[in-house]
Amino acid sequence: MKKVLTFLGLIIAMNTFAQPSEKSDALRQELATKAEANKDGWTKGGNLNIGLNEGLLENWAAGGERQSLTANGQFAGFLTRVKGSSVWENNIDLHYGLSYVSSNDFIPRKLDDRIDFSSRYGLQPKKWTESKNIIKKSTYLMGLFRIQSQFTKGYNYSRDDWKTHPISQFMSPAYFTLALGAEFRINDHFSVFVSPLAGRMTTVNAKYTTSNAAYGVEKGKTSRMEMGAYLTAKYSTKIAKLVAYSTRLDLYSNYLAKNKTMPEGYIRKDNPGNIDILWDNDINFKIARFIGVGFGLTMIYDNDQPGQKNEKNNTAYGPLGWWQLKQLFNVRFNYTFSNKKLKDK
């Protein structure tokens, strides 16, 4: 853990000295006033995005979808309490999107569906709070709980009978993570949480594992336990006056991973080096006070989840192999709020 924190400190130090002196002075001033800015109290905030895309063709010689509408919404909120040398931070990300087209009688098809809630509580040893060392002063010993799932049923639309064969639903799958470690948080825009001891449980409805394994859960079972190392890092910044970028990277290594003989007879290689990756990216271009253009990209790699199989042409995985990709680009209504309450008595 000490090596990890030292490494992070070196990165930050190099980045600091690489900036112009004016920015370096601003960063030092921010660190100097960090304790004052984070006095006891609650801080809350959030961001709501609602995107719409509509299309209409009438007697269009070149052909195309006569009518179409896509709608998606994203909400990211936080609630944080700082008291003395402790911090309690709660974050929630909610995503949902649907597509309607005339060629399938406007039966909605899902574009996006995600529930992601995390709660973390951290403490700083007294010596760290009084230290002049940037790494110690910005690091908390921390415990983290996280749950990930979805709102509604999901389908593989390449199947002709997709309407009667959902492949997922609310809390199926659901991922629960409980981790102990340390978080380095230099400010509200950048933080890294590292845990050498992180348990993760995946649960799924029994009907999805009746004939085959699903979401890493073996055939005939409804849950799977893992124990490993976990890292989650987040960063946000303004690239320009009207352009904002945010990203989050999650890494998980399962200490218990081992090779498995599959029902088809081949051996699927697995080991702690097969790191699960979840990488979120979002760029927002502000056009007016509440209007913007957004680009979102999420990439997932999980050795236990090779992605959907195309039932029509029997394609095993797709052009990206075991990588899963989700990309959205739209014009969006954007509303941001924040408020700091009175200090605790």
Specify the CATH number for the domain of residue 212. 2.40.230
Q: Looking at the structure, tell me whether residues 83 and 223 fall in a common domain.
A: yes
Structure tokens at 218: 């073996």
In a domain, 345, yes or no: no
Which structural domain range is residue 240 located in?
Answer: 33-57+64-340
pLDDT tier at 342, thresholds 50, 70, 90: very low
Residue 34 has pLDDT above 60, yes or no: no
Q: Looking at the structure, tell me whether residues 10 and 126 fall in a common domain.
A: no
Q: Looking at the structure, tell me whether residues 21 and 91 fall in a common domain.
A: no
pLDDT tens digit sequence for 222-232: 999 999 999 99
pLDDT at 21: 42
For tokens 């449980």, name the residue: 201
Which of 326, 339, 338 has the alpha carbon at shortest distance from 282? Answer: 326
pLDDT at 132: 85
Task: Residue 248: count other Cβ atoms within 10 Å of its Cβ.
Answer: 19
Structure tokens at 302: 């999980």
Contacts of 126 (CB under 8 A, 6+ apart): 85
Q: Looking at the structure, tell me whether residues 293 and 321 fall in a common domain.
A: yes
More confident residue, 67 or 119: 119
Q: Residue 206 — φ and ψ, nearest 5°? A: -60, -30
pLDDT at 276: 93
pLDDT tier at 130, thresholds 50, 70, 90: confident
In a domain, 156, yes or no: yes
Q: Looking at the structure, tell me whether residues 17 and 48 fall in a common domain.
A: no
Q: Looking at the structure, tell me whether residues 284 and 199 fall in a common domain.
A: yes
Structure tokens at 114: 């995600």
Q: Looking at the structure, tell me whether residues 4 and 77 fall in a common domain.
A: no
pTM here?
0.80
pLDDT at 33: 43
pLDDT tier at 261, thresholds 50, 70, 90: low
Question: How many domains in the chain?
Answer: 2
Q: Looking at the structure, tell me whether residues 8 and 79 fall in a common domain.
A: no
